[in-house]
Amino acid sequence: MSTISTHVLDTAVGKPAAGIRVTLEKESGTGPIGSGVTDDDGRLRNLLSPDTRLEEGTYRLRFEVAAYFARGGRAAFYPEVVVAFRVGSGNAHYHIPLLLSPFGYSTYRGS
């Protein structure tokens, strides 16, 4: 069974970004299939319940970052970050880290 995790690092302060709500959606627009909030280490270890099976296709991770920056008294250009990625056949683990700052972001497929 495939799993999805993420890790958000605030590169402007050099620390994990805790308390960011993350939602997983399938491209087909059937609504959220998983969600959670990053922990004190900026991690969300699995966005899916143990019985959820991912089909092959395109998915989106939606990071709601506006509230995170507001809590720190910082203005931010992007209120949310949406990362689209492709899930293939099989039982792979998908780790999608987000490197975040108030005026930019970067992502990659992690391990």
- Note the pLDDT of residue 16: 98
The answer, as to whether pTM is greater than 0.95, is: no
Q: Residues 35-92: pLDDT tens digits?
A: 999 999 999 988 888 888 888 999 999 999 999 999 999 999 999 999 999 998 878 8
Domain range 3-107, CATH class = mainly beta
What's the whole-number mean pLDDT along residues 18-43? 92
Percent of the chain as helix, strand, coil, to the nearest 5: 5, 45, 50
Spatial separation of the C-alpha atoms in residues 14 and 87, rounded to whole Å: 30
**Domain ranges in the chain?**
3-107
- Note the pLDDT of residue 1: 64
Spatial separation of the C-alpha atoms in residues 103 and 111, rounded to whole Å: 26
